[in-house]
Structure 1
Amino acid sequence: MSRAPLCVAGLPEGLLLAKREMVSRCHGAERPIGGAIATHYRIADLRRQAGRLVHAIGIGRKLVAGKSTSTLSIRLYVTRKLPRSLIGAAELIPALVDGIPTDIIEAPPAFFAAPPVFPCTLKRLKRQRPLHAGTSFGHVTVVGGTLGASVRSRLAGEEALHLALSNNHVLADFGAVGLGTGVCQPSAGDGGMEADTVGRLLRFAPIVADGTTENRVDAAVAAMDDAIRISPGICGVGTVHGTAAASLGMAVHKHARTTGYSQGVIDDIDCDVMLPIDRNAPNRVARFVHQLRIRSKNGTSRFAQSGDSGALIVAKASGAATGLLFACPDHGGYAYANPIQAVLDELRVDLA
């Protein structure tokens, strides 16, 4: 009996298998991702580092002369493109993998979008009651991030709870804080104090930072105190209409703590990426698989920056939620997001 093709968002099995082969080659144990992150800041020996510049691998349309084509390819994101003369034969990335073209894209590595604090409008940083999605929010010990959305629990006994969705690293500090500890609005980095506590950490999806374990989501929910409510909709985005799977070329928008309202385009729908937990310790990294990559809309310079973690990514055409933003590079030209259905299923919640 023939086996049905393995598909991710409609992608053919051959393309996914070719991508997995490149992940094995470039993200294997013999190629520490810390080299790629460190190289972004200190390129001292290009020849030695040439084989360790790949920090993310995904699937998207091949770029030719800077323009998107109709050809699907294995996309390898590197900190810096190097001349072939500086790369040993064993380190060269093949033009084809099992007949599938590869595409090497120069882009700086992303970091969890938390500190440092960047200036933004007073409205996004101010204390707001009721709460508003897309504004400053976080654990009382964390500089801060963004309140993504109001959600409700699927679990018996939690029907009456009013829950707020954001990232693990925003609400649980990568698991360093205990369940039941406080979250505040605005965040501590925006002046939030004990009097601004609005709820308690309820649960989060653990993040394993060993460089090999597959992490799917960076997500957490907090239960709001009895007197706290979250307004419907998202600043600048409007009402969210359910969820939808992401697709290549999908136009999206979001509202977040630092950059406020911005628009982007999904250009990778199955990206495996390595992210350092601590900028000062680049060898402590978390591997995230099957992620979304969103670039800024043409004509704009940035889509997200530090502090925007936790923002809901919403399709412009349908108003459906597609992802939860969790990482971006310092220049803000692109961001990574967890597919929203994976987030909701992991936390056992639904959009309210």
Structure 2
Amino acid sequence: MMKHLESFIGKVMASRMLVHLSFCLAFVGVFSFAVILSGNHDVAVAAMVSCLYILTCTYVGRWYGKSWLNRSAVPVSVPKSVLVFLVLVLGGAAGAAYMFKGDVAKYFLQNLFICFPISVLFVFLGIAIALARHVVWMQVSDAKIAQEHKESELRLLLSQLSPHFLFNTLNNMYGISLSQQQRVPKLLLKLSELLRYSIYETREEFIPLQNELLYLKNYIDFEKIQNGERLVLDLAIDEFPDDRMRIAPMLLIVFIENAFKYSKATRKPKMWIAITLQVKEDWIIFTIKNSFEPGRREQSGLEDPSGIGLHHTLKRLNLIYGNEYFYNAQEENDTYHVKLRLKAKY
């Protein structure tokens, strides 16, 4: 029984005509039922007819509004519009005179002065409903288009980050394979884990923070294998027991990747990187510092001509987080310092 009722309700909601018919019946029923409850059984039929007249005026006004909004698709002439309104008013006045007084000729003019303002009022109400519905529909349509554009742009940006990461990693592995071949097998295993994550586990707009942290740790292990004893790493990443906390994927990796890339480009025997990540009052606070040499990026050819990594990451931050993030980067005493705050998602 319940299944048949649910199926019937679903069909009603799917049909515009049935929705309007159901609304009209409910409107007439409610007002007529109120008249019956008041004890005025004699005017119950008149109340139903009056409700139907009000609904007719409203739907005529809605038709006017839709016609004017879609002038190119449904052209409606002014004489036709005036004719419809006159038929509505005159027909209403004649019907009211007959129903309430029983004499159309004698009471027509009296009821005409009553029906005219009522008709004008509810016709304008129908026009207002059509205009309001059109405005809401346009806003919803614009919001859908903006959302689709945002999602497509995010997908494009994310798809470009993985090749960018792979290109940089393969360049590094090529240099290692020439002088330290024993490190290559471990690097390939780590690389396969990183690529599996970036390809298969980053399709959602937000993913569990724990998954992203595991990916970052795998990347850091990958860099440890590459750089060996030259790397001085200060790592302080808090553990987060709340698995509901979420973050946009592949955001933090770009800052970590850049820190390793530019710190290893220095001529100093040691490269230094400090990474911290913690959560305070639903804000993810990420900081990273690394050693670097001013001007060394251009001399070593490490300056990214496309700027694809950082540029796309900052663009994704704006698209995803809006005003719910803070980013700051500065250079001081041969140290590059990045601070990023993100509003945690649940």
Band of TM-score, shorter chain: under 0.3
TM-score by length of 1: 0.23
TM-score by length of 2: 0.23
* The structure with more helix, counted as a fraction of residues: 2
* The structure with more strand, counted as a fraction of residues: 1
Q: Which has the higher contact order (CA 8 A, sep 6+)?
A: 1
